[in-house]
Every structure is written in structure tokens, then in C-alpha cells.
């Protein structure tokens, strides 16, 4: 009998809330709903991408491709630079990621599935109108009409899941798309050159997943702040997402260094990781753990190869506590694609 993992769906879905924070302006006032939204203009055709960050230590080199989501839907990425890098590389570190799985056997995982039904919904049959302040709900109705439409199912969602739905539908209407093709393209190039692909994964096993799901369904999340900032900033977010997407596509590294979204991202992540259920299963420690595992994998790959390549989210790379700063602390000399440190 084939064994396959059934993921504990609730927490990976919640982690997607980080997407909501892209380029948020924490001080932006609520949008004037009487002003029509202008569709963001995104680049198209073949584009070079942002170039590669270079980290060197003891004569060995790590070349890093920073990825971004979303990207222009009609863009074709010119892969000459990453192709050349992989042609001389001994390893490709895939994007670090987290898997949360039930620590049970095959039949235990099947038994878990019914308990996942309705996990996005607010507890006790509450609606968004019941869950958020009246003025916030009024603003929600305005942006919902603009981007989601008349869907009533979302009204039963917890605020953070409603914000995710808003984000997804708004992105679809803005000429942007998720960037999974970038990673798939790099993996295909690595395979062409016979480069070993190194997975950087942190698997969090949940001993009693059914109890965790039931506890989550009964619990409340402090996600009103995340929801409020998401709906108040959605128009500005779309404009900034398009600007950053264009910056990635055209290789404008300076424009990618944008930390205005930090406050909203923190609010959304805290809503996920500070809850009692998340604390009990160890979710609060995940960001630091996956960062440490990536750094360990980098040290091993660089020590074993004259040149290695890595794929990492731009948002993880940049910033005061980003992966690039961590590399510097470990003795690597880091150079930006535009020639700066």
C-alpha cells in the first residue's frame, strides 16, 4: 500500500498570510471608495530579472537568486545568467520551506480529514460582521465588492482567511501571477546541467493533529489588525506589488529594497504564531528554525563545492534581519547584483 503525507492544512494556509503584507503602508488612511481603482501596469515580454547576489568565503562562492511573488503575468524571464551560474555549480539549494504533518500512520491521516472541514470558518457560526468593528466591516464591503464580488461564503471566514481571499482575487485582476514558474525553471536548468538539488525543509510533526484542529476551530485569533491593515491598504498594495514586480523583472534591485510592509506582515504573522494552538505545536519557532537550517545547508554546500546556487525569497533575503545579513555574520562577503554590499 502506498503511503503518502496528508498535510495539516490549517497552519500552512495561515502562513500564506505573509503574502497579504506585500508593500503595505502602515500609515495609509482608509481608501476613498468613491475614486475608481486604476489597474496597475506591468511589464511584458522578455525581461532579465534581478541578477544574482554573490556571497563568498574561503574562495568558495554562493550565487543567490531572489524570488518574488507575484510577478507580471505576461513576462518571460531571460535565464542566461542563472543558466551560466548553474553550468559551473555543484549544488542548487531549493527555496527553504516548512511542512507541518500529523505524527500518525496512514489510516490516522485519513481519519483526520473530516476534522479539517470548515477550518477557515469563524468559531460558533460567527460572521465577519460579528468579528470586526463596524467601521472596518463597512470598508470591507467596499473592497469586497470591487475585488471579490457577491460571494457570500467568505463572510463566514475568520478575518485572516477573508484577507487572504481578498488578496488572491485582487492579484488576479491586476495583471500579476504567482511566481512558481521561476523555481521550476531553475530546477529544470539544474537538471540539464546535472546539478544536485538540495531541499531545505523543516518538518514539524503534530502528535495529536485531530485535537489540534478541534482546538483551533474553537479558538480565536488576534487577526483583526491584520485584516484591517489588509483592507485599508489593498489599493496601495496592488500599486506597490506591480512596482516591485516590474522592479524584479527589469533588474531594479534598489526598488526591491522596500520595508514599508514590515508592520503589517508582523501583525499577520503574530496572529498566526501567538495563538495558543500554534504555541503548543511549536509553530512560533518556525521562522528562526528554517532560517538556521538554510544557513547550515549553505555552509555545507559552499564547503563541498567551489560554486553553489540558491533560490530564496527576496523578502527573506533583504532587511536588517534577513538572510544576507546572517551570511555576513557568518563571515561571508556579500555583493549585490547592482555592485553594492
Residues β-bridged to residue 304 = none
| pLDDT score of 125 | 86
Instruction: Say yes or no to pLDDT of 244 above 60.
Output: yes
Q: Provide φ and ψ at 199, rounded to 5°.
A: -80, 135
Query: What nine digits make up the cell of 38?
Result: 486604476
Lowest model confidence (mean pLDDT) among 115-124, 175-184, 270-279 = 270-279
In a domain, 35, yes or no: no
Query: Do the domain assignments include residue 321?
Result: yes
Give percent above pLDDT 90 in the chain: 36
Write the burial class of residue 187 (CB in 10 Å: 0-12 exposed, 13-18 middle, 19+ buried): middle
pLDDT at 66: 94
Q: Which residues have C-beta within 8 Å of that of residue 339, sequence separation ≥ 6? A: none
Determine the structural domain holding residue 146 and report its residue range: 10-30+47-335
pLDDT at 221 > cutoff 70: no
Distance CA 242, CA 41 (A): 7
Asked whether residue 341 is assigned to any structural domain, the reply reads no
Quickly count: other Cβ atoms within 10 Å of residue 156's Cβ. Answer: 16
Q: Report which of residues 339 and 136 the model is more confident about.
A: 136
Instruction: Quickly tell me which residue has 501571477 as its cell.
Output: 177
130 burial type by CB count under 10 A (0-12 exposed, 13-18 middle, 19+ buried): exposed
Query: How does residue 203 score in pLDDT terms, banded at 50, 70 and 90?
Result: confident
Is residue 37 domain-resident?
A: no
Q: In what order do the strands lie in the sheet with 60-67?
A: 196-198, 91-93, 307-313, 60-67, 53-57, 333-335
Given this model, what pLDDT does residue 62 score?
98
Quick one: pLDDT at residue 285?
A: 67
Q: Would you say 115 and 216 are in contact if contact means Cβ atoms under 8 Å apart?
A: no
Position with higher pLDDT, 232 vs 204: 232
Domains in the chain: how many in total? 1
In this predicted model, what pLDDT tens digit does every residue of 39-80 receive, in sequence order?
Answer: 456 777 888 888 999 999 999 999 999 998 888 888 889 999
Does some domain include residue 38? no
- Asked whether residue 30 carries a pLDDT value surpassing 80, the answer given is no
In a domain, residue 235? The reply is yes
Grade residue 273 by pLDDT with cuts at 50, 70 and 90: low
> Confidence band (pLDDT; 50, 70, 90) for 219?
low
Rounded Cα distance between 152 and 170, Å, is 17
Identify the residue with better confidence: 34 or 321: 321
Mean pLDDT of the chain: 77
pLDDT reported for residue 208: 66
Residue 340 lies in a domain: no
In 3D, which of 230, 81, 211, 255 has the Cα closest to residue 163?
A: 230
Average pLDDT over residues 222-228: 81
Answer whether residue 157 is part of any domain. yes
Amino acid at each position: 500500500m502506498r503511503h503518502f503525507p496528508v498535510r495539516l492544512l490549517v497552519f500552512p494556509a495561515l502562513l500564506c498570510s505573509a503574502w497579504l503584507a506585500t508593500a503595505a503602508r502602515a500609515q495609509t488612511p482608509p481608501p476613498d471608495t468613491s475614486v475608481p481603482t486604476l489597474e496597475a501596469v506591468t511589464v511584458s515580454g522578455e525581461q532579465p530579472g534581478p541578477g544574482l547576489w554573490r556571497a563568498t568565503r574561503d574562495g568558495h562562492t554562493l550565487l543567490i537568486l531572489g524570488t518574488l511573488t507575484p510577478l507580471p503575468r505576461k513576462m518571460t524571464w531571460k535565464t542566461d545568467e542563472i543558466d551560466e551560474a548553474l553550468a559551473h555549480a555543484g549544488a542548487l539549494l531549493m527555496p527553504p520551506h516548512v511542512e507541518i504533518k500529523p505524527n500518525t500512520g496512514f489510516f490516522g491521516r485519513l481519519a483526520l480529514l473530516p476534522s479539517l472541514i470548515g477550518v477557515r470558518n469563524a468559531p460558533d457560526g460567527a460572521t465577519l460582521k460579528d468579528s470586526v468593528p463596524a467601521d472596518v466591516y463597512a470598508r470591507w464591503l467596499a473592497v469586497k465588492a470591487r475585488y471579490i464580488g457577491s460571494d457570500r461564503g467568505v463572510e463566514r471566514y475568520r478575518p485572516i482567511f477573508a484577507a487572504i481571499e481578498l488578496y488572491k482575487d485582487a492579484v488576479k485582476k491586476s495583471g500579476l501571477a504567482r511566481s512558481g514558474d521561476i523555481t521550476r525553471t531553475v530546477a529544470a536548468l539544474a537538471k540539464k546541467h546535472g546539478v544536485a538539488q538540495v531541499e531545505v525543509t523543516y518538518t514539524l510533526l503534530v502528535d495529536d493533529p485531530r485535537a489540534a484542529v478541534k482546538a483551533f476551530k474553537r479558538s480565536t485569533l488576534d487577526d483583526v489588525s491584520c485584516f484591517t491593515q489588509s483592507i485599508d491598504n489593498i489599493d496601495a498594495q496592488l500599486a506597490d506589488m506591480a512596482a516591485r514586480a516590474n522592479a524584479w523583472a527589469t533588474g531594479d534591485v534598489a526598488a526591491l529594497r522596500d520595508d514599508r510592509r514590515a508592520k503589517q506582515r508582523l501583525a499577520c504573522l503574530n496572529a498566526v504564531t501567538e495563538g495558543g494552538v500554534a504555541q503548543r505545536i511549536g509553530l512560533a519557532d518556525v521562522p528562526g528554525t528554517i532560517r538556521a537550517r538554510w544557513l547550515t545547508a549553505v555552509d555545507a554546500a559552499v564547503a563541498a563545492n567551489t560554486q553553489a546556487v540558491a533560490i530564496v525569497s527576496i523578502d527573506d533575503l533583504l532587511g536588517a534581519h534577513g538572510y544576507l545579513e546572517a551570511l555576513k555574520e557568518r563571515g561571508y562577503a556579500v555583493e549585490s547584483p547592482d555592485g553594492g554590499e
